[in-house]
A = this chain, B = another copy of it.
Amino acid sequence: MNAHDTQTLDAVALADAPAYADILAAAARIAPHAHATPVLTSRALDELAGCRLHFKCENLQRGGAFKFRGACNAVFSLSDEQAARGIVTQSSGNHGGAIALAARLRGARATVVAPHNTPKVKLAAIRAYGADVVFCEPAQSARDVMTAQVLADTGGVLVHPFNDPRVIAGQGTATLELMAAAPGLDAVIAPVSGGGLLSGTAIAAHGGDPAIAVYGAEPQGARDAHDSLAEGRRITGRATDTVCDGLRAELGTLTFPILRSHVREVLLVDDAQAIAAMRLIWERMKLVVEPSGAVPLAAVLAHRDLFAGRSVGLIVSGGNVDLDQAAHWFAAQAS
């Protein structure tokens, strides 16, 4: 495929991207169900970072992660006829739980295709909300095959974890709230995995203020978004190696062109930086965040020059972490 073809495909995909108005509509749609999470600040961390930080606390969202926003918007966008057919998704993490919860609120059935190595705590959350779980092999191709099979068997409706304009619009609502609580932001940083959160963040930010610099933050061990944007083509099929279990997915066909047109840079951090930033947020801000949720702060601390003296919004994406596992990470880093 040559550069011209890539641009054409991007244009096609971008036509499916949600607009700012879709994010405003999503905010109204999910308002009865989702938390308007607080935006918190810390003078201690401002001093450490050399800039003014505004933390959008999606760890305090229902289900413990921003994922509920997108899932809720997608599920409540369905017609009654669609909802009655049941909702199908694939997830090894927070999106599965979010879809299960949103489906329960809608009164719809949900089936989550999950790799058999999904953490038990995440499976328990999905089942606690009443969804069915269908297991598959961990590889993405196996997940896709099983998802197609479940869709065919059940006649259900797919809500993809990130490559879906309704999901992207829902994720963007966090940034609407962030900008209302912290007017005049110079920059906003969100973690990037499949790119749904960062896409929604970017569209919401630039809809409200086209001058805001939008950054992604990504672990070195899952740097497909960084490299995809640098090379101008979507890189897939790489192995990942990072403690940030929420950030191992690859950009999708819809999120890649959105990020290309909106994101200034994807900033890389290593796992030690992510765990150190996580500990700072626990200790200084008294918030339980998972490693993925601390990656934006880690990115600021690793790239102080970019943000010196500026006002910066950070999307703290989630707080679903096993406390005993977290204690092990902290102990390993201290020794």
Across the interface, which residues of B come within 8 angstroms of A5, CB to CB? none
Known: A38-B38, A285-B60. A330 touches B324 (CB 8 A): yes
Residue A192 at the B interface, CB < 8 A?
A: no
A34 CB, min distance to chain B CBs, angstroms: 12
Interface size class of A (residues with CB under 8 A): 20 to 34
A279 CB, min distance to chain B CBs, angstroms: 7
Residue A287 at the B interface, CB < 8 A?
A: yes
Q: Is the CB of A286 within 8 A of B283?
A: no
Residue A277 at the B interface, CB < 8 A?
A: no
Q: Which residues between 317 and 335 of chain A lie within 8 Å of chain B, taking CB atoms?
A: 319, 323-324, 327, 330-331, 334
A24 CB, min distance to chain B CBs, angstroms: 24
Q: Which residues between 42 and 80 of chain A lie within 8 Å of chain B, taking CB atoms?
A: 43, 59-60, 62, 64
Which one, B64, B286, B323, contacts A319 given CB within 8 A? B286
Residue interface bits A283-321, CB-to-B below 8 A is 1, else 0: 101111100000000000000000000000000000100
A71 CB, min distance to chain B CBs, angstroms: 16
Q: Tell me the nearest residue of chain B to A293, going by C-beta.
A: B286
Complex Cα distance, B287 from A43, in Å, reads 19
Residue A40 at the B interface, CB < 8 A?
A: yes
Known: A40-B60, A286-B59, A287-B286. A327 touches B319 (CB 8 A): no
